[in-house]
Amino acid sequence: MAQPFGLGCDAAYPLELMLPYASYQIRCMTRDHLSTAMRWAAREGWNPGLHDLDPLYNVDPQGFFMGWLGEGPVASISCVRQGGNHAFLGLYIVDPLLRGHGLGKAIWSASLEHVKGCVVGLDGVVAQQDNYRRSGFELAWHNMRFKGWGREAQGAPQGRVVPLSALPLEALVAYDKAFHPAPRPAFLRAWIHLPQSHALGWWEGGELRGYGVLRACREGHKLAPLCADTPAVAHSLFEALCSRVPVTEPVFMDVPDGNAVAVDLALHQGMEATFPTARMYRGPAPQLAISRLYGLTTLEVG
């Protein structure tokens, strides 16, 4: 049986104390509240990173919302601005024992009001996709989370594989524009320096031709993102990053099905499909380089 969420822990609290629902309040999250929402996300099976909190929160601190009944947090959502015209929605969670009473709908509406006028994207789980369609979101593509394993290093990485920290940040920001609707220099600076992570790029002819980040998660590691100009570059980065993880450690990657080569890479590397999501947008979908996108960054910010 599902257990209710508790403030700062997983302890249950009496349901009758949370009635009537008229006492429901929606407030902006603090950073500490976001850590609670990330624990909820882990319980939902989304497997967030161990050190994701600060990079995500700093994208748009006003774009994180929590629903409260009395002193108990019971719902969460994020809808963060990314540039002037785009936003991304995630962390949409309601206490399992309180679903179906309108609490989620209220916090959903509050979050979208925050980004009024923006094109909004999300990566939706199967159970919610019909609800998203009714709210004006349309399918752009499907994703599949694949699970594989670390591997033994096959000699030294190829000479063009270099630490991203050794490259100019401007080169990474410029390259990343093809895969994201708005520049995100502050996020990328934090993302490639996460603790318990590895960030590598493919540097050729004075240009960045691909990059990937492998970070520690609640379970194993995620390769997120993985972007590359060619399948050969993607394969080399995949091998170099996965070799940083013991063979007993799982590695996950969220792969867009719009890139058939990326799906083939995952399958040829012995990865198995685990669960699907769908990239959906309310408003015109941005033109992203899906053919060069092998792995998404996060389900929270795209």
Return the sign of the alpha-carbon dihedral for residues 201, 81, 139, 287.
Answer: negative
In a domain, 5, yes or no: no
For residue 59, what are the β-bridge partners?
none
pLDDT at 2 over 50: no
Do 167 and 66 reside in the same domain of the chain? no
Q: How many CB atoms lie within 10 A of CB 157?
A: 18
Residue type, 150: G
Q: What is the pLDDT of residues 226-272, one digit of tens each?
A: 999 999 999 999 999 999 999 999 999 999 999 999 999 999 999 99
Tokens, residue 167: 């490259």
Helix 260-268 vs helix 231-242: angle between axes, to the nearest 10 degrees? 40
DSSP state of 300: T
pLDDT for 206: 93
Closest to 96 (Cα-Cα) out of 82, 67, 75 = 75
Statement to judge: residues 34 and 94 lie in one domain: yes
Task: List the domain range (segments joined by +) for residue 164.
Answer: 145-275+282-295
Tell me the CATH number at 112. 3.40.630.30
Tokens found for residue 250:
């799982």
